[in-house]
Amino acid sequence: MTTMSAGKTTVIEHFIGGKARGGDRTTPVYNPATGQQIAELVQAPSSRVDEAVRDAVRAQREWRRVGLVKRSKIMFRAREIIDARKDELARIITREHGKVHSDALGEIARGMENVEFCAGLLHHMKGEFAEQVADGVDVKQIRQPVGVVACITPFNFPAMVPLWMFTTAIAAGNAVVLKPSERDPSAANWLAEVFLEAGLPEGILNVVHGDKEAVDALLSHPQVKAVSFVGSTPVAHHIYTTAANEGKRVQALGGAKNHMVVMPDADLESAAAAAVSAAFGSAGERCMAISVAVVVGDIGDQFVDRVTELARALVVRPGDQPEADMGPLITRDALERVTSYVDSAAQEGGTLVLDGRTHDVPTEGFFIGPSIVDHVRPGMKVYDDEIFGPVLAIVRVDTYEDAVNLINENRFANGTSVFTRDGKTVRSFEYDIEVGMVGVNIPIPVPVGSFSFGGWKDSLFGDTHMYGPEGFNFYTRRKVVSSRWPEASESQVDLGFPSH
């Protein structure tokens, strides 16, 4: 087991080589719904990270030899175990993250899409072949694993994002060292144990817990060949530049400021419900949350009134309570940061239509209600910054062109959406918009597992998106083999460059 009890406090340990590994230094883990400490998390020094990487290197040599059919069967078994025990995992997520139970189940379901996709690895690992490119010469291109991969995952999706990363990496024949967020670490250990139960060899999926020391050790370790990361833009930039400077392959997904355009012909009820769901689900702690509604033309007052009415009715309670629509923020620091944006919104010229500070919320824990700020403009902090909390900014513009220009001028480009009934507007939006993921009457356009996830601009550092087909591209190297089997009589010396 990777957890143990010390008196009344649970100690969450590393999971290396299929076994628990302890340590001397620990940090607290809190239940954000109560504000109370619930566990001690063992922190990895660089020596422990080195141990995990070396175990992974040894295990990967054998894992690479394992047949694709057997790898696929492990994915199928893991999928069945997770599905059978998904309520257990959801309760772990709710306890440490705070999101409501249904939201935790949704996260698990979206992560399992990638497990299912990876179960088809026999297809995804296929190469290419060309016969007779020259006289007696055949050429083939094959996929081979990169080796040991570091996966550094965020707090807001403690199960889904790891499942997006490590499943693809191990399906492709790599070994993984997973460094989850220290705020909600138990889901990562749970998943590692499930994959071991499903038949994954020891040492292929390792979990190390830690802070910047552990991350820097992974980024600088010479036997870590690739790094996957999801987090804030400043950290993503640091991860990218540091790891790339070490010669590693890197995909580092950063922050977002996702805009939802509401055209005058949009279905008002659908658009308002979508905005509330996408802005305040998981207390706004999603990289694909809608944080800006761009209202075009004269629909503005009706839209704001309806969104405010729906948001005011949200029940904010601990995530394990059945009536809860929205849970707490992850930490007290997060609560203070989000509150500061609400505090300053009116001072910057916005209209605070709904004040989350006055919402009916529990007195314990890190709770704040949904907030809506109207008449927001670029240059205001509530617009420019990634708040990562339940604050929806309303920007009013006159035309479709104004909306597109506003979005394209933003430094973030993770996701966006448009609500309209007009096909020409949709086609123009798909063509004009400079954002990586686009929704049409869908507020959170996270692609299904058979496609890939990733933004543009300051939302992605690196060239490759996550999971799906691009995930297999990232976690494999292509090798091209040219072959010829000549007769002995055909041998001759020729110093010219081969021209086929």
b/e per residue 463-485 (b: at least 16 CB within 10 A): ebbbbbebbbbbbbeeeeeeeee
Question: What secondary structure does DSSP assign to 252-320, as a single string?
Answer: EE----EEEEE-TTS-HHHHHHHHHHHHHGGGG--TT-EEEEEEEGGGHHHHHHHHHHHHHT--B--TT
- Bridge partners (DSSP) listed for residue 416: 259, 438
Q: Which whole number is the average pLDDT over 241-250?
A: 96
- In this prediction, residue 251 carries a pLDDT of 97
- In this prediction, residue 4 carries a pLDDT of 52
Taking the C-alpha atoms of residue 29 and residue 74, their distance in angstroms, rounded to an integer, is 32
- In this prediction, residue 7 carries a pLDDT of 45
Q: Which whole number is the average pLDDT over 29-33?
A: 98
Whether residue 141 has pLDDT greater than 60: yes
If we measure between CA atoms, which residue out of 274, 299, 302, 300 comes closest to residue 288? 274
Q: Is the separation of the CB atoms in 69 and 237 below 8 Å?
A: no
Q: Is the separation of the CB atoms in 316 and 380 below 8 Å?
A: no
pLDDT level of residue 9 (50, 70, 90 thresholds)? confident
Render pLDDT for 318-347 as a digit per residue (tens, 0 to 9): 999 999 999 999 999 999 999 999 999 989
- In this prediction, residue 491 carries a pLDDT of 72
CA dihedral (179, 182, 184, 187) in degrees, to 10, reads 30
Render pLDDT for 442-471 as a digit per residue (tens, 0 to 9): 999 999 988 999 999 999 999 899 999 999
Pick the CATH number of 10-255+455-481 from 3.40.605.10, 3.40.50.720, 3.60.15.10, 3.40.630.40: 3.40.605.10
Q: Which residues are catalytic?
A: 287
- In this prediction, residue 78 carries a pLDDT of 98
Q: Is 183 left (phi over 0), alpha (psi -120 to 50) or beta?
A: alpha
Q: How far is CA 14 from the centre of its chain?
A: 22
Query: May I ask the CATH architecture of the domain 258-440?
Result: 3-Layer(aba) Sandwich (3.40)
Q: How far is CA 287 from the centre of its chain?
A: 8
Taking the C-alpha atoms of residue 350 and residue 393, their distance in angstroms, rounded to an integer, is 9
Whether residue 2 has pLDDT greater than 60: no
For the chain, which residues make up each domain, given as ranges? 10-255+455-481, 258-440
pLDDT level of residue 3 (50, 70, 90 thresholds)? low
- Bridge partners (DSSP) listed for residue 478: 143
Whether residue 439 has pLDDT greater than 90: yes
- In this prediction, residue 425 carries a pLDDT of 98
Whether residue 1 has pLDDT greater than 60: no
Render pLDDT for 36-61 as a digit per residue (tens, 0 to 9): 999 999 999 999 999 999 999 999 99
pTM for this prediction: 0.95
Question: What secondary structure does DSSP assign to 426-455, as a single string?
Answer: HHHHHHH---SEEEES-SS-PPPTTS-B--
The alpha carbons of the chain give a radius of gyration, in whole angstroms, of 25
Phi and psi angles of residue 162, each rounded to the nearest 5 degrees, phi first: -55, -40
Q: Which whole number is the average pLDDT over 83-88?
A: 98
Whether residue 66 has pLDDT greater than 60: yes
b/e per residue 214-243 (b: at least 16 CB within 10 A): bbbbbbebeebbbbbbbbbbebbebbbebb
Percent share of the chain, pLDDT over 70:
98
Residue at 253: amino acid letter: L
Q: Which whole number is the average pLDDT over 65-71?
A: 98
Taking the C-alpha atoms of residue 217 and residue 71, their distance in angstroms, rounded to an integer, is 29
Mean model confidence pLDDT for the chain: 96
